Structure 1
Amino acid sequence: MSQSLLGRVSAVGWGCCSYSTLKSCLPILSWLPRYKLKWLQMDLLAGLTVGLTAVPQALAYAEVAGLPVQYGLYSAFMGGFIYALLGTSKDVTLGPTAIMSLLCFSVVGGQPHQAVLLSLLCGLIQAIMALLRLGFLLDFISFPVIKGFTCAAAVTISFGQVKNILGLQDIPHDFILEVYYTFYRIPEARIGDVVLGLLCLSLLVMLMLMKKSLGSDDTPYSTSSRFARKLVWTVATMRNALVVVAATLVAFSWNGYGHQVFTITGETSRGLPPFRPPPTTYITDNGTVVSFGEIVEGFGEDLVVIPFMGLLESIAIAKAFASQNDYRIDANQELLAIVSCLRLTSRTAVNSQTGVCTQAGGIVTSVIVLLSLAFLMPAFYYIPKASLAAVVICAVAPMMDYQVVANMWRIRKLDLLPFFVTFLMSFWQVQYGIVGGIAVSGALLLYNTARPQIKVSDHGVLVMELGSGLSFPATEHLSHIMHTQALQASPPRSVILDCHHVSIIDYSVISEIRDLLRQFKLRKVRLYFARLQPSVLKVLLAADLQDLVYTHSVDAALQMESGTSSMTDANFVQSQNGEEMFDAEQKEFSNSADQ
Structure 2
Amino acid sequence: MASNQIQYDNDDEQQPLIVDHTNSSEVKTMGSIHISEKLKEIGRNICTKETLKKKLPIIKWLPNYNLNALQCDIIGGLTVGLTVIPQGLAYAKIAGLPPQYGLYSSFMGCFVYCFLGTSKDITLGPTAIMSLMTGTFAISPVPNDATYAIVLTLMCGIIQLIMGLLNLGIIVNFISYPVINAFTSAAAITIAFGQVKHIFGLSNIPRDFLPMVYHTFAELGKTKIWDMILGFSCLVLLYFIKKLRNINWGDSKAEELTIGQKVSRKFLWLFGTGANAVVVIAGAGIAASLISMNITDKLTITGHLHAGLPPFQPPAFSLKSKNITQSAGDIFTKIGVGFGIVPLLGLVETIAIGKAFARQNRYKIDPTQELIAIGVANIFSCFVSSYPVTGSFSRTAVNSQSGVKTPASGIFTGALILLALQVLTPLFYYIPDAALGAVIISAVLQMVDWKVLKILWKIDRLDLFPLIVTFLSSLVIGIEYGILVGIGISIIMILYPLARPKLNYNYQPGIIIVQPDKGINFPAAEYISDTIVLKATSGGKRRSVIFDFSHISNLDYTAVLAIEELMVDLKQHKLEVVLCHISASVLKVIQRAEIPNLRLYSTIAEATDEMYVKDESEPTEDEESQPLIGHV
What TM-score does the superposition give when structure 1 sets the normalisation length? Answer: 0.89
Partners of 2:280 and 2:602 lie apart in 1 by 72
Alignment of 1:18 onto 2:44: no
CA contact (8 A) 2:244 2:271 kept: no
CA contact (8 A) 1:559 1:565 kept: no
Partners of 1:73 and 1:466 lie apart in 2 by 58
Residue 584 (structure 1) aligns with: none
Alignment equivalent of 1:354, drawn from 399, 402, 411:
402
532 and 9 in structure 1: CA distance in 2 versus 1, 3 angstrom threshold: closer
206 and 515 in structure 1: CA distance in 2 versus 1, 3 angstrom threshold: same
- Name the SS of the counterpart of 2:547 in structure 1: strand
Alignment of 1:393 onto 2:393: no
Give the drift of 1:274. 1.6
Q: Which of the pair has more CA radius of gyration?
A: 2
Residue 42 (structure 1) aligns with: 72
Partners of 2:550 and 2:43 lie apart in 1 by 45
Residue 98 (structure 2) aligns with: 68
Alignment equivalent of 2:536, drawn from 458, 475, 486:
486
Give the drift of 1:30. 0.8
Give the drift of 1:266. 0.8
Alignment of 1:464 onto 2:514: yes
More deviation, 321-330/155-164: 321-330
More deviation, 302-311/33-42: 33-42
State the percentage of identical aligned residues.
43
- Name the SS of the counterpart of 1:307 in structure 2: helix
Residue 463 (structure 2) aligns with: 415
AA partner of residue 299 (structure 1): I
For 1:279-428, list aligned pairs within 5 A: 279-283=316-320, 287-339=323-375, 340=378, 341-427=389-475, 428=477
Residue 271 (structure 2) aligns with: 235
More deviation, 461-470/326-335: 461-470
465 and 375 in structure 1: CA distance in 2 versus 1, 3 angstrom threshold: same
Residue 89 (structure 1) aligns with: 119
CA contact (8 A) 2:161 2:371 kept: yes
468 and 48 in structure 1: CA distance in 2 versus 1, 3 angstrom threshold: same
- Name the SS of the counterpart of 2:181 in structure 1: helix
CA contact (8 A) 2:533 2:570 kept: no
Alignment equivalent of 1:545, drawn from 595, 608, 615:
595
Partners of 1:547 and 1:3 lie apart in 2 by 43
Residue 570 (structure 1) aligns with: none
197 and 465 in structure 1: CA distance in 2 versus 1, 3 angstrom threshold: same
Residue 288 (structure 2) aligns with: 252
Give the drift of 1:566. 13
For 1:563-582, list aligned pairs within 5 A: 563=613
CA contact (8 A) 2:550 2:581 kept: yes
Partners of 2:449 and 2:167 lie apart in 1 by 32
202 and 116 in structure 1: CA distance in 2 versus 1, 3 angstrom threshold: same
AA partner of residue 393 (structure 2): T
Residue 579 (structure 1) aligns with: none
CA contact (8 A) 2:529 2:565 kept: no
Partners of 2:369 and 2:170 lie apart in 1 by 13
More deviation, 494-503/539-548: 494-503
Residue 492 (structure 2) aligns with: 443
Residue 162 (structure 2) aligns with: 128
Partners of 1:247 and 1:547 lie apart in 2 by 86
Give the drift of 1:541. 1.4
- Name the SS of the counterpart of 1:32 in structure 2: helix
CA contact (8 A) 1:214 1:229 kept: no
CA contact (8 A) 2:246 2:269 kept: no
Structure 1 residue ranges without an equivalent (≥5): 568-595
CA offsets per residue over residues 343-384 of structure 1, 9 Å max, x none? 101111111121111111111111111111111111111111
More deviation, 452-461/426-435: 452-461
- The alignment of Structure 1 onto Structure 2 pairs a total of residues equal to 566
AA partner of residue 110 (structure 2): G
- Name the SS of the counterpart of 1:528 in structure 2: strand
CA offsets per residue over residues 396-451 of structure 1, 9 Å max, x none? 10111112223333333333333233222223322111112222222333322211
Partners of 1:189 and 1:396 lie apart in 2 by 23
For 1:33-182, list aligned pairs within 5 A: 33-109=63-139, 111-182=145-216
Partners of 2:35 and 2:590 lie apart in 1 by 39
Residue 382 (structure 2) aligns with: none
544 and 487 in structure 1: CA distance in 2 versus 1, 3 angstrom threshold: farther
Residue 434 (structure 1) aligns with: 483
Residue 554 (structure 2) aligns with: 504
AA partner of residue 237 (structure 2): L
CA offsets per residue over residues 460-491 of structure 1, 9 Å max, x none? 54332222222111122212321222133543
Give the drift of 1:282. 1.4
CA contact (8 A) 1:531 1:552 kept: yes
Structure 2 residue ranges without an equivalent (≥5): 1-28, 379-388, 618-632
223 and 550 in structure 1: CA distance in 2 versus 1, 3 angstrom threshold: farther
Partners of 1:111 and 1:418 lie apart in 2 by 37
Partners of 1:325 and 1:541 lie apart in 2 by 53
Partners of 1:170 and 1:448 lie apart in 2 by 48
Partners of 2:372 and 2:108 lie apart in 1 by 14
Residue 574 (structure 1) aligns with: none
354 and 553 in structure 1: CA distance in 2 versus 1, 3 angstrom threshold: farther
Partners of 1:168 and 1:506 lie apart in 2 by 62
Residue 534 (structure 1) aligns with: 584
293 and 220 in structure 1: CA distance in 2 versus 1, 3 angstrom threshold: same
181 and 215 in structure 1: CA distance in 2 versus 1, 3 angstrom threshold: farther
CA contact (8 A) 1:499 1:529 kept: yes
- Name the SS of the counterpart of 2:105 in structure 1: helix
CA contact (8 A) 2:582 2:602 kept: yes
Give the drift of 1:83. 0.5
- Name the SS of the counterpart of 2:390 in structure 1: coil
Give the drift of 1:335. 0.7
CA contact (8 A) 1:517 1:547 kept: no
What TM-score does the superposition give when structure 2 sets the normalisation length? Answer: 0.84
Alignment equivalent of 2:306, drawn from 269, 273, 294:
269
AA partner of residue 192 (structure 1): W
Partners of 2:284 and 2:112 lie apart in 1 by 32
AA partner of residue 318 (structure 2): T
Give the drift of 1:164. 0.4
More deviation, 351-360/422-431: 422-431
Partners of 1:185 and 1:390 lie apart in 2 by 19
Partners of 1:382 and 1:300 lie apart in 2 by 37
Alignment equivalent of 2:223, drawn from 166, 175, 189:
189
Residue 17 (structure 2) aligns with: none
- Name the SS of the counterpart of 1:327 in structure 2: coil
Partners of 1:331 and 1:372 lie apart in 2 by 32
CA offsets per residue over residues 81-109 of structure 1, 9 Å max, x none? 10111111111111011001001001123
- Name the SS of the counterpart of 2:505 in structure 1: strand
Partners of 1:387 and 1:446 lie apart in 2 by 48
539 and 221 in structure 1: CA distance in 2 versus 1, 3 angstrom threshold: same
Partners of 1:163 and 1:242 lie apart in 2 by 22
Partners of 2:586 and 2:137 lie apart in 1 by 48
